[in-house]
Amino acid sequence: MRAICPGSFDPVTHGHLDVIARAAALFDSVVVAVGRNSAKNYLFEAEERVRLVEEAVADLPGVEVAALDGLLVDFCREQGAGAIVKGLRFASDFDFELQMAHMNHALTGVETIFLPASSHWATVSSTMIREVAAYGGDVSQFVPASVATAIAAKVTQRREGVAAMADTTATHLDALREMVQQAKNVPMSASCMVNRADALELIQRARRSLDAELAKANKVAETSYETLVRAQQEAEQIIKAAEEKAEYLAGQSEVMERAKRQAAQLEARVTAETEALRREADAYVDTRIAGMEAGLAKTMTQIKTMRARLATRSGLDGGETAALPRVQ
């Protein structure tokens, strides 16, 4: 069966690759569908994300990469896929993905397979990677080497772009100031004469640069806000998962303590019962031995009586009787 692993992969992380590798082990072939959404502010363009994912999965047999436009179910139909594979990091992921799974199945009958994220990568997300990288943090342990290099280059490029726009605006303003400084003075006033067209052109250029800077700043602010919201949501999910884990471990600890107490009680009871059985067995054996002893004593008495009779009848003493031949 052919399966689809969809996602934005902006950027692709080791958590993504873990799910893809496990899916490849379950299905004949897997297509990694890199989604494109014009309403989103991506760190990497779709073509860049496709290339980075291709490099990351190059060593996985049976895995392909393709860009995803439109509905996922239509893509599944085009690819001849019978299943969608989704990785789940938290319980809250399941609530959303379950609705999508029901909808996709209702539309085309395609099944959705959920794979729980490996514990080592459960807290790693593309959102967190972008946020850490934007502030100069090292994300190399969470993504493939080629992706880490691409992230560093992209962050540097964005910073240089903002700096270049600021330099352009400053250049236009400096030119306007120089024009004013070199303009002819108006006699008997603090005014000066400048070329209106040239001045307006410089002002217009500065305005365009400022508009571009403001648009860029607004986009960065919007992206940062979205990232902050997602980071906060993920932080809440991590805290919730940690609380659930702590509660589970506490329950397990209580179960272990109860099991230890029950084991100790069982051991004490078995020891007591074993000791009682031992005493009963000793008493039984002692009774049997005492009976045997009494029987032997009676037999010895009878033997002595018989020997005494023989001695009286035949005039034998004890030594002579012992010398008589044995009856075969």
Those residues whose C-beta lies under 8 Å from the C-beta of residue 110, and which sit 6 or more positions away, are: 73, 76, 81, 82, 83, 84, 104
Mean pLDDT of 239-267: 77
Band of pLDDT at residue 314, cut at 50, 70 and 90: confident
pLDDT at residue 284, as a whole number: 80
What is the reported pLDDT for 270?
A: 84
Write the pLDDT tens digit of every residue in 60-114. Answer: 999 999 999 889 999 999 999 999 999 998 877 888 899 999 999 998 899 999 9
**What is the predicted pLDDT for the residue at 327?**
46
Report which residue type is found at 314.
S
Question: What does the pLDDT read at residue 47?
Answer: 92
Whether this prediction's pTM lies above 0.75 is answered by no
Domains parsed from the chain with CATH numbers: 2-124 (3.40.50.620)
CA atoms within a 13 Å half-sphere pointing along the CA-CB vector of 252: 6
The DSSP string of 24-51 is HHHSSEEEEEEE--TTS--SS-HHHHHH
Residue whose pair of structure tokens reads 């992230």 in the numeric block: 151
Report the catalytic residues.
Answer: 16, 40, 89, 126
H or E, element range at 184: strand 184-185
Q: Which residues pair with 58 in a beta bridge?
A: none
pLDDT digits (tens, 9 = 90+) for 20-73: 999 999 999 999 999 987 667 788 999 999 999 999 999 999 999 999 988 999
